[in-house]
Amino acid sequence: MILSGGNQDLTIPGKNVKIEVSLSLERKDLSGQSSDSSFVNAGEKAQKIKVSTQIPLTEKEKLTQLAMLARACDTNNEPVVYAMSNPLCLAMGIRQVIFSGQFSVVESSTLRVFDVSFELQEYMTISEKREERANENAARIEPIKDGQVNVGTINPAKINQIARETRE
């Protein structure tokens, strides 16, 4: 797995690298107390990627670099978005990720390695991209009233950027 972003490229270091992808499909039960099987789609949530690896104790600088990538933030104090290259993730439609959740390191008691595990979260899911395109199209159609700005996005980082630009 290769992560690229924040002016850095990093191949996930170590041995026995394992990657697990989970997709959460939210459904709300509408049946109440009956035997009805009605439900409503509550949306597709961002996919989670769990990564585990073993980094030899002699390569601790690779662990340091990986931890720095996990902590990295951009100029707006938002987590750095990484492009990723991994066959499993690409098959699941994941192109960009951010570090999210636990970053755990344990020194192995039997091997001379650091057991490292961390979580990544998909950035801009396909559903989010669809919603954003729909909002952009709607923003083009709806007339702007005095004092209003059509944002055309649901991405918080883009909304903050537009807000800063309109204040200047």
We find that the CATH architecture of domain 2-123 is Beta Barrel (2.40)
pTM of the predicted model as reported, rounded to 2 decimal places: 0.68
SS3 content of the chain, % helix, strand, coil (to 5): 30, 40, 35
Give start-end residues of each CATH 2.40.30 domain in the chain. 2-123
Q: What is the pLDDT of residues 12-26, one digit of tens each?
A: 999 999 999 998 877
User: CA nearest 119: which of 55, 61, 46?
Assistant: 46
Average pLDDT over every residue of 106-132: 84
pLDDT the model gives residue 21: 94
